[in-house]
A and B are shown apart, each in its own frame.
Chain A
Amino acid sequence: MIFIKNSITRKNLMAITGLFLSFFLIIHLLGNLQLLLPAEEAQLQYNSYSHLLGGNILVKLVAYVLYLCIILHTLDAIYLSYKRKQANGISYAYDRRGRASSWYSRNMMALGIIIFVFLVIHFKDFWYHYKFGELPLDANGNKDLYTLVVLAFEQLWYVILYIIAILALGYHLLHGVFSAHRTIGLYHPMYNRIVRVLGVVFAATMTLGYIIIPLFLYFNLQS
């Protein structure tokens, strides 16, 4: 990958991996919405769903593509940031260029770093524990991931951390989804308008969806 010097090709890679990750977000959200069911039902259903995912070869294959996409998207971002620094040369002494674009479109890297740090924590706390850790079994004999998740969201700081990360993700998507379509060459004005609106709807839905889960679990446990 380091041999691809061309920036349009680089940006294509960024766009395609980004779009795949965005698609994954939908599936991940739909799965996690099961956490909102009544506690006993949620525990059994969520654990059996997790078990089903873990055992399916096709899901495993997609998971490997997902890991690859996260790595490529991150490495590409680092490379492109380095290229940006090179192209910028000396910076402006008095800079008011910000009026012409949105703050989140200019700070995709900063938002990306927040998301990346979050992902490391997220993977460590749930994915790593589920895959390699010792978990008690539920009534159906499945690993009890549900209890692990619920206990994690008992802590207020953890819920706040999640909300900050999800807001960063929301803004990242708000620019990323439409920008990715432009990068791969969608130039027709009508489709651009559609993608722009759908991008906003998508970003808002994902943000709301992912924020509701930790909030629901936290307040549900408090009561």
Chain B
Amino acid sequence: MKITLKIWRQRDAGSKGAFKEYHLDDVSRDMSFLEMLDTLNIKLIKQGELPVEFDHDCREGICGQCGVMINGIAHGPLKNTTTCQLHMRSFKDGDTIYVEPFKAAAFPIVRDLKVNRSALDHIIAAGGYVSVDTGQAPEANSIPITFEQAESAFDAAACIGCGACVASCKNSSAALFTSAKISHLSQLPQGDKETSTRVVSMVNEMEEEGFGFCTNTEACQVECPEDISVLNIARMNYEYNKARLVKK
């Protein structure tokens, strides 16, 4: 396949970025999108140019490290996939592909396609955990929980924190990410104890990091690699309102 790439090149957060055009002539249909970028980088290094910087790690769709805007869509044209799980067979021979980093005020650009998503870590650090003394694994049957409940909590826990929800949102809101963690923990007996303090603290952190608010356009779930439900956001709002209005 012949592919024309228009890739966002930017030295650092302070400098101005722009699309730069590259041509690849021997792209295999079976390459993943990241392998295609690797091919480009090898070519650039051989030519003595700086390679395109992008984040990646596991390359099997579970770590949440990769993530760029491909043709104006987070993680590219396939719904509910990560960038590493997108393959070149999703494109046609001769296509021009625009590649841009996730953009939001809370995600400063490090270089090229790489953005700093530490803001998401700060939200988790603000309360996305259960305060227990660790030790040996407890007896599994001492805290009963139904299968359905565990599955529902797990659906929310599947969030890999890639930031596609923020990138896809017209308000740059991290509501889906934050609510997934709140929803995950509040549905489990161990986590539920701290729900009210957790939700207030995580929502406050989300605000302080400079993320926007949610207007329920539901674009986040459509582009989320894990198809995290937008109903988690409603649950977060419910828990937040309850914590502020009812609990001390």
A residues lining the B interface (CB < 8 Å): 5-12, 80, 83-84, 86-97, 99-102, 105-106, 108, 175, 178-179, 181-187, 189, 192
Contacts and interface: CB of A to CB of B under 8 A. Distances in A.
| Interface residue SS majority, chain B | mixed
A100 B219 CA distance: 5
B18 to A, nearest CB: 8
B143 to A, nearest CB: 23
Interface stretch (B27-35, B40-48, B120-128, B230-238): B230-238
Interface stretch (B55-63, B133-141, B164-172, B190-198): B164-172
Contact of A88 (B73, B98, B172): B172
A5 to B, nearest CB: 7
Contacts of A95: 72
For B100, B213, B214, B223, the residue with the greatest tally of chain A CB atoms inside 10 Å of its CB is B213
B56 to A, nearest CB: 21
Contacts of B233: 182
A86 B72 contact: no
A186 B233 CA distance: 10
Interface of B: 6, 8, 18-19, 69, 71-74, 98, 100, 103-107, 168, 170-173, 203-204, 207, 210-220, 222-223, 230-235, 237-242, 244
B208 to A, nearest CB: 10
A89 B71 contact: no
B170 A106 contact: yes
A112 B93 CA distance: 44
A11 B214 contact: yes
B215 A97 contact: no
Contacts of A102: 217
A87 B172 contact: yes
Contact of B207 (A7, A92, A186): A7
5 contacts: A92-B69, A93-B100, A108-B215, A182-B237, A187-B231
A187 B203 CA distance: 17
B212 A87 contact: yes
Contacts of A84: 170-172, 212-213
Contacts of A192: 231, 234
Contacts of B100: 92-94
A29 to B, nearest CB: 25
Contacts of B220: 100
For B72, B215, B220, B240, the residue with the greatest tally of chain A CB atoms inside 10 Å of its CB is B215
